[in-house]
């Protein structure tokens, strides 16, 4: 752990928040050497934080031992340069166990994912996350999505809970988020962090910025860091022309391609990392690999994204005009 509080380190990030994929060998076992290389490459490329073993990192597919090994490897590779936040989930007892494993591995914080399977009421959800927060000294970011959707009143309760520092939104209901932000601002002193946590958060970055939420997770950073960095700079400097050029030419078609298969928010990203030259292996079941055609489309789309960056830099590079129709 570094002396600066996690919330302070995340408030004004210098780059995208990096959610690395988890690397597996040809036999499907954990490949820590490749995972370390992936994490190290992301930090060197400009990531502001590493969120290890979260959704993109296939938290659901890891054993507790593998989880702790990955978190420890991420901590060692970052060497304090950026914070490491680890996933924690399932039912309350297991979420507490994962939280403690992450603390033992040296993580700087936790991303608390929805409890397994059950659709709980607000009182039960609040109790769940309070128990996770109380399990360690690690600051906790709560992930809103799927079966964990909160009322503004519940988020006020979360914000008042010692150890809970923020909310990551994977739902995309801007009306709800505005009401949450307003309620917490009016009832809880101090800063509470909010993150846009949709699968390709850049697509809604301008909309979330409109309600004051500028922190976001970037899966694209895993396989096309320069594109993710260009968008991050544009969003945070008010360069909406560049942001919209990347949205129209890269992010929107990427989201449309991602929608072609279930689980592509993970498996398509992992395919992109492999296409970039780092063999992180395939996804574990129940996820499945994208089709060969979809991978080819991804390769062409990444090429287009880099061309769009060159256009913005004034190099005069040409961008294929018909790409979007081909996707």
Output the domain CATH number for residue 21: 3.20.20.70
Q: Is 86 domain-assigned?
A: yes
Q: Quick one: average pLDDT of 261-276?
A: 97
Residues ≥6 apart with Cβ < 8 Å to 138: 99, 102, 103, 107, 108, 109, 110, 163
**Does residue 209 sit within a domain?**
yes
Q: Which of 143, 194, 208, 264 is an active site residue?
A: 143
Is the predicted pLDDT of residue 315 greater than 90, yes or no?
no
**Which one of the listed residues 129, 168, 264, 270 is annotated catalytic?**
168
* 99 lies in some domain: yes
Better-scored residue on pLDDT, 321 or 184: 184
Of 29-33, 229-233, 323-327, the range with the lowest mean pLDDT is: 323-327
In DSSP notation, 131-169 reads HHHHHSSS-EEEEEBTTB---HHHHHHHHTSTTEEEEEE
pLDDT value at 261 more than 80: yes
Its pTM surpasses 0.85: yes
Does the pLDDT value for residue 3 go beyond 70? no
Q: What is d(CA 139, CA 49) in angstroms, rounded to the nearest whole number?
A: 14
| Within a domain: 265 | no
| C-alpha span between 54 and 271 (Å, rounded) | 17
Burial of 213 (0-12, 13-18, 19+ CB in 10 A): buried
Average pLDDT for 169-191: 97
98 catalytic? Reply is: no
> Rounded mean pLDDT of 75-91?
97
pLDDT higher than threshold 50 for residue 57: yes
Does the active-site annotation cover 116? Answer: no
CA–CA distances in Å: residue 249 to residues 7, 77, 121, 282: 33, 34, 41, 28
Residue 116 covered by a domain: yes
Residue 310 has pLDDT above 60, yes or no: yes
- If one compares 12 and 276, the residue with the highest pLDDT of the two is 276
User: Mean per-residue pLDDT for 141-148?
Assistant: 97
User: What number is the average pLDDT over the span 137-143?
Assistant: 98
pLDDT value for 327: 45
Whether residue 82 is contained in a domain is answered as yes
Asked which of 2-11, 143-152, 235-244, 288-297 is least confident by mean pLDDT, the reply is: 2-11
Retrieve residue 39's tokens.
Answer: 């994490």
Task: Please say if the pLDDT value at position 314 is more than 70.
Answer: no
Q: What does pLDDT average to over the chain?
A: 94
Q: Which range marks the domain in which residue 228 is found?
A: 6-237
Structural domains counted in the chain: 1
Q: Is the pLDDT assigned to residue 85 strictly greater than 80? A: yes
Q: Which of 233, 231, 155 is nearest to 194 (CA)?
A: 155
In a domain, 274, yes or no: no
Q: Is residue 208 part of a domain?
A: yes
Percent of the chain with pLDDT over 70: 94
178 sits in the region (left: phi over 0; alpha: psi -120 to 50; else beta) called alpha
Label residue 201 by pLDDT band (50, 70, 90).
very high
Name the helix (H) or strand (E) containing 84.
strand 84-88
Q: Average pLDDT in the 177-181 region?
A: 98
């Amino acid at each position: 752990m570094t002396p600066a509080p996690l919330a302070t380190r995340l408030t004004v990030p210098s780059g995208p928040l990096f959610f690395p994929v988890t690397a597996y060998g040809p036999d499907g076992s954990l490949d820590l050497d490749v995972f370390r290389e992936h994490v190290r490459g992301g930090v060197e490329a400009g990531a502001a934080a590493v969120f290890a073993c979260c959704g993109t990192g296939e938290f659901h597919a890891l054993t507790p031992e593998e989880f702790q090994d990955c978190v420890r490897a991420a901590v060692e590779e970052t060497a304090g340069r950026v914070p490491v936040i680890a996933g924690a989930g399932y039912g309350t007892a297991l979420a507490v166990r994962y939280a403690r494993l992450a603390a033992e591995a040296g993580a700087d914080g936790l991303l608390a994912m929805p409890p397994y399977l059950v659709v709980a009421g607000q009182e039960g959800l609040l109790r769940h996350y309070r128990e996770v927060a109380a399990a360690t000294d690690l600051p906790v970011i709560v992930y809103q999505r799927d079966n964990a959707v909160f009322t503004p009143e519940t988020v006020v309760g979360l914000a008042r809970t010692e150890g809970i520092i923020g909310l990551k939104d994977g739902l995309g209901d801007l009306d709800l988020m505005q009401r949450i932000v307003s309620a917490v601002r009016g009832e809880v002193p101090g800063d509470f962090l909010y993150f846009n946590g949709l699968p390709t958060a850049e697509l809604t970055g301008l909309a979330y910025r409109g309600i004051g939420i500028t922190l976001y997770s970037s899966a694209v950073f895993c396989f096309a860091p320069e594109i993710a960095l260009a968008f991050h700079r544009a969003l945070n400097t008010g360069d909406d022309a560049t942001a919209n050029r990347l949205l129209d030419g890269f992010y929107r078609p990427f989201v449309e391609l991602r929608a072609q298969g279930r689980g592509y928010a993970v498996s398509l990203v992992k395919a992109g990392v492999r296409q970039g030259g780092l063999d992180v292996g395939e996804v574990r079941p129940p996820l499945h690999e994208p089709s060969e055609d979809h991978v080819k489309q991804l390769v062409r789309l990444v090429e287009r994204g880099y061309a769009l960056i060159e256009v913005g830099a004034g190099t005069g590079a040409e961008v294929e005009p018909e790409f979007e129709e081909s996707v």
